[in-house]
Amino acid sequence: MSIFNPKTFSKAARILLLSSAVISSFAYAKSVKIIAEEPGGGWYTYGTTFARLIAEKTDNQYTVSLIPRGGGMTNPVAVNNGKADFGFATSNAAAWAKFGLTDIYKGRKNNNIMSMLNGLQEAYTLIAARKDWVEKTGNNTLEKIIKAKDVVIATSPTGSQVPIIADFMFKALGTSLKELRSDGKLIQIGGGQMSQMLRDKTIDIFIENVPANHPSVTEMTLTTDLVYIPFPTKVLKALADVGLPTGVMKAGTYKGQTENYINPVSASVFITNSNVDTETVYAITKALVESQAKIKASHAPLKVWDPEKSVSQSVLPLHPGAKKYYQEKGWLK
C-alpha cells in the first residue's frame, strides 16, 4: 500500500517554498551601520526610530546596526573612514570635517562624506546682552560690542562647538576669540554659570548655539532682561560659508524676543560615505523621507524637518543615491 499522498505533498511543498522565501529574504538582507551617540541623547533616540522604519519600509531588505557612541564632531570622521555607513552630524561640523577646517580637524580633509538628509533639527546661534548694559553704554551691535573698552562676553568652554562658531564670527569682523580673551573681554563658562553671572552683572553678553526652549537659555531670559543683538551681514555670510546657513528663530521663542531673529543655524544632518552604493542610499533616503510623518510624531524636535526645502540647504555634495530620489520627486533638477 502506497503512503504517498499528492495532496499532502503539495501542501508540504508550498510550505517549504514559503519558508525558503522567508529565509532567503533574511539571508540576503543587507546590514548597514548608523553612528549616533551614547544612549539617552537625541540622536540615539532618532537612530532607533530610523533603524525600525528603514527595515519596515524596505520589507527587511536592509537591517540597521545602531552604533551607541559618537557625537557631532566625531561622527563625520567615522563615516568618512567607513566605520559607519551613515551618521548624524551638525551641518557645520560636517563642513569643517569635509574641508579640514578648525583646530579639531587640523587640515585633515574628510573627502568621502556626502549628504543625504538636511535640516532635521535646528539649533540657533544667539548673541544676547543685558538690557541695562546696552541702555547704559549704547553698544547695541556686535561691531560696537567687540570694540567696547569695558565688556565681558561669555561663551561655552573649549570642546563645545560654540567657541568655534564665535571665533568665525569675530574673525569676520577683524578680531578673534583668542584676542578678545587675552584682552580680558571674553570668558568661557558653562550655561548654568552664565545665568548666575548675568544676574550678578559680572558678564554683559553671552553667545550660545541651542535649540528652541533650551533650559539654560530659558532660565537666563526669565531671570534677566535681555536684548538680542543682530548679526551683521558679513558675519552671516562668513558662517554660511562654513556650514551654518542663515535661518530664523521665530519671535517669542524666548522671553523678550519680540521679532524674528535672523541668525546662523546649526542643523542636524544625516550623512553617508561616497563608497556606499547608489541603490542602498536611494532606498534608505526614500524610506526615511516617506516615513517623515511617523518620525515627526515620535520626535517633536524633528517637526521642523522639511525634506523638499532642505534639499537646497546641503553643505556637502549630495550622494548620487539621494540625488536620484530627490530628482524623482521633482525637488531637484
Number of domains in the chain: 2
CA 230 to CA 262: how far, in whole Å?
Answer: 7
In a domain, 273, yes or no: yes
The whole domain housing 143 covers: 123-265
Higher pLDDT, 190 or 182: 182
Kindly state whether residues 139 and 260 are assigned to the same domain. Answer: yes
**CB of 53 within 8 A of CB of 66?**
no
**Mean predicted lDDT score pLDDT of the chain:** 90
- Which pLDDT does position 203 carry in this prediction? 98
Residues 6 or more apart whose Cβ sits within 8 Å of residue 204: 129, 130, 133, 151, 152, 153
Side-chain half-sphere exposure of 42, counting CA atoms within 13 A:
16
Sign of the CA dihedral running 239, 269, 322, 310: negative
- Which pLDDT does position 3 carry in this prediction? 47
pLDDT in tens, 132-172: 999 999 999 999 999 999 999 999 988 788 999 999 999 99
In a domain, 20, yes or no: no
Residue 215 pLDDT level (bands cut at 50, 70, 90):
confident
pLDDT in tens, 194-214: 999 999 999 999 999 988 878
Grid coordinates given for 195:
545665568
User: pLDDT at residue 37 above 80?
Assistant: yes
Kindly state whether residues 113 and 72 are assigned to the same domain. Answer: yes
The beta strands (E) that lie in 58-181 are given as 62-67, 86-90, 113-130, 153-155
How far from 332 is each of 28, 163, 196, CA to CA, in Å? 32, 35, 48
- Other residues' Cβ atoms within 10 Å of the Cβ of residue 329: 14
User: pLDDT at residue 105 above 80?
Assistant: yes
Give the 3-state secondary structure percentages of the chain, helix then strand then coil, rounded to 5.
45, 20, 35
Q: Residue 213 phi/psi, 5° resolution?
A: 60, 30
CATH number of 98's domain: 3.40.190.10
Closest CA to 154 of 204, 224, 229: 204
Kindly state whether residues 157 and 256 are assigned to the same domain. Answer: yes
Question: Can you tell me the mean pLDDT for 253-266?
Answer: 96
- In the chain, what percentage of residues exceed pLDDT 70? 92
